[in-house]
Amino acid sequence: MIRFLQKPGPIKKIVLGGILLVVCVMMVITLIPGGGFLNDLFGGSLTTQGVLAKVGNQEIGVPEVAQQARLIAKQQFKGNVPEGIMPFLMQRAAQGVIAQKMLVYEADRMGLGVSNDELINTLKQGQMGQVLFPGGNFIGEQNYESFIESQFNLSIAQFEQEVKADIAQRKLLSLISAPVSISEKDVADELKKQNTKVKFEYAVLTLDDIKKQITPTDAELKAFYEQYKQQYANSIPAKIKAQYLVIETAKLADKVPVTQAELQQYYNQHQDTYRIPETVTVRHILIKTPTPGPDGKIDQAGVEAARKKAEDIEKQLKAGANFAELARKNSDDPGSAQQGGLLPPLTKGRTVPEFEQAAFNTPVGQTTAIVRTSYGFHIIHVEAKQQARLKPLDEVKPEIETVLKGQKASAEAQNLANAVQALARSEGMSKAAAQKGLTVTTAGPVAQGDLLPAVGNVPEFANALFSAKKNDPPATAALPQGYAIYQVSEVIPAQTPTFEQIKAKVEEQFKEQRAQTQLAQKTQQLADRAHAEHDLAKAAKEAGATVKTSELVDRNAQVPEVGAMSGSASVAFGMKAGEISGPIRGSNSGVVIKILELQEPSPEQVKQNWDSVKDTLLQQKRTEVEGLYVENLRDRLEKEGKVKINKKEMERLSQTAEGS
């Protein structure tokens, strides 16, 4: 079971999604208005190196925050964190840990501690319960420890402490938000707002049309250039001219000999690589059983219904029905159902024990009886088996030869690069190239980020070139394809363009800025005139605006040149038929609308989603109340000196993020 969970797949995602730990930290951050209370929470005196904060008597160190940051990264990025993101995750984790400690501190003060029984009951619930207590039975200390270590990189004590902290703060927040309620009027108003539809006439002024009317003089453009000259400073990037010799490892590999003795030695040292494990290829039909509810209980009626369905399918198979067709029609495993229940070849340790035992112990061509696992009822048909074996040397010889040639060529390329660099420093690039049969490539002037002849876009090599000074001795840089020995012959510093060099860009920016200002002014004038005349069409004609008519739309609609009706145009849903709006900013346009038709939801539509809307509003209101509570708690604990922040350590986190 543990091994199965260590393999990537939908089940692992479900299990990780059920863990409270990381979710709790992120929830706490969300509750705090602005999500960044550390910016103004430098109260108290704390200077211990490596300690970010102190809540009550608990110190929060950098390792603890780093651990939480890694958990966030694992959950949000599956461990593949984009470059430069980790410092920001560190800040986010720091906020979450401090907020969590504050809530746990207050929960303890109020006597809301968490017992071991409460911890066990929590771990028995939901998807976590299926992993740790399959069939109601604990998986054992060793498996428990292995699972927590592999998934969270925590010890059992650390994990249970975090889960207890989560339970404590949920207790506290539930106590705070329990009195919150939503009135029937609130629900009715929200449903009315969500389901109301409008049809409207709208006058449009576009940014592009206004731009066409703007014809700046050279004097205006020059004044604009001088006003914003600072933003053009050094906008012509630095460039360099360079020469380099490229040594390609692949070309050397073609000439490298590999002996039979070397092949045999490598094979002997890496035999485990060429062992093929025992595999079995099966088709299966899965009839899922209900998962435990929030209370940890399983719907036994649902289990019996699943069993009956599996038994019915088993009867059909015994009567001669086609297994693949029954799998397509009945299997609850979406990954294999469309392939007639066919699974990729399985090795031992890849699936749950009950399934594995049945698959490996059933002869080829036969079908098992019904097999019960934690996922439901399976019927398994064995298609083929492959016995474990060691591939002979002759079978893997081409593969080993490629590896050995690559290794030898890499070493030879490095030795050649060292020799060429030494020769280039004493004899010059051209003579070194001639003596070693290489070609001198000349590049430049090129800016950083430009494609380099014979190399392409290699950021590490570009960084090396742009870090070098004019006529520095030849140096060596690693390339994906080998090595480059390079020398920079000229450095052209970044420059600020003259007005003439950048006139076209200045003109475009001038027009954009002027058009934005005029669009806002003209849209306001259009709205004012339409209200004064009580006539949108007449005002639009005077302003040179285009008049269009929308369909009957709801808040989820997109209207051409108006944009999303959930944005600034949402004012339409609070207007009456015949009413004219104020100026509305659309997508690259200014709009004024007049309501033609207003369609409110029927009583049946209102009743249809009543419960779900009520639950949503209730949760939103509870979140707001909890957020205010956390904010007030923070203020109080700060004044009492119960929360102290190490300003220097926090600033170090911020500086790391800004510099990344």
Q: What is the per-residue pLDDT across 130-148, written as a single tens digit (0 to 9) for each? A: 888 887 788 888 888 888 8
Q: Please check whether residues 30 and 163 belong to one and the same domain.
A: yes
Residue 654 confidence (pLDDT)? 60
Q: Please check whether residues 8 and 152 belong to one and the same domain.
A: yes
Q: Which domain holds residue 290?
A: 278-387
Whether 588 and 519 have beta carbons less than 8 Å apart is answered as no
Predicted TM-score of the model (pTM): 0.49
At residue 32, does pLDDT exceed 60?
no
Q: Please check whether residues 30 and 104 belong to one and the same domain.
A: yes
Amino acid identity at 400: I
Q: Please check whether residues 423 and 442 belong to one and the same domain.
A: yes
**Considering only CA atoms, which of 481, 594, 515 is closest in space to residue 244?**
481
Residue 47 confidence (pLDDT)? 67
Q: Please check whether residues 425 and 469 belong to one and the same domain.
A: yes
Average pLDDT over residues 66-72: 82
Q: Please check whether residues 23 and 117 belong to one and the same domain.
A: yes
Helix (H) or strand (E) holding 380: strand 376-386
Q: What is the per-residue pLDDT across 169-217, written as a single tens digit (0 to 9) for each? A: 888 998 998 899 999 899 888 888 888 999 999 999 999 999 999 999 9
Residue of higher predicted confidence among 506 and 39: 506
- In-domain check, residue 636: yes
Residue 39 confidence (pLDDT)? 39
Q: Please check whether residues 129 and 35 belong to one and the same domain.
A: yes
At residue 243, does pLDDT exceed 80?
yes
Angle between helix 610-639 and helix 184-195 axes, rounded to 10 deg: 120
Residue 339 confidence (pLDDT)? 92
Q: Please check whether residues 114 and 13 belong to one and the same domain.
A: yes
Looking at residue 298, which CATH number applies to its domain?
3.10.50.40
Residue of higher predicted confidence among 49 and 453: 453
Domain count, the chain: 4
pLDDT band at 656 (very low <50, low <70, confident <90, very high): low
Residue 97 confidence (pLDDT)? 87
Residue 659 confidence (pLDDT)? 42
Q: Please check whether residues 507 and 529 belong to one and the same domain.
A: yes
Q: What is the per-residue pLDDT across 338-385, written as a single tens digit (0 to 9) for each? A: 999 999 999 888 888 899 999 999 999 999 999 999 889 999 999 999
Q: Please check whether residues 399 and 383 belong to one and the same domain.
A: no
Which residues lie closer than 8 Å to 480 by C-beta, 6 or more apart? 458
At residue 631, does pLDDT exceed 90?
no
Q: Please check whether residues 251 and 282 belong to one and the same domain.
A: no
Q: Please check whether residues 474 and 360 belong to one and the same domain.
A: no
Residue 73 confidence (pLDDT)? 80
- In-domain check, residue 497: no
pLDDT band at 223 (very low <50, low <70, confident <90, very high): very high
Write a three-state SS string for 322-367.
CHHHHHHHHCCCHHHHCCCCECCCEECCCCCHHHHHHHHHCCCCCE
Helix (H) or strand (E) holding 408: helix 393-427
Residue of higher predicted confidence among 540 and 46: 540
Q: What is the per-residue pLDDT across 509-552, written as a single tens digit (0 to 9) for each? A: 999 999 999 999 999 999 999 999 999 999 999 999 999 999 99
Residue 428 confidence (pLDDT)? 95
53-57, 257-261, 641-645, range with greatest mean pLDDT = 257-261
Among 134-138, 205-209, 325-329, 566-570, the minimum mean pLDDT is found in 134-138
Whether 373 and 354 have beta carbons less than 8 Å apart is answered as yes
Q: Which of 426, 457, 492 is the last residue of a domain?
A: 492
Kindly report the backbone phi and psi dihedral angles of residue 124, in degrees, each rounded to the nearest multiple of 5, phi listed first.
-85, -10
- In-domain check, residue 268: no
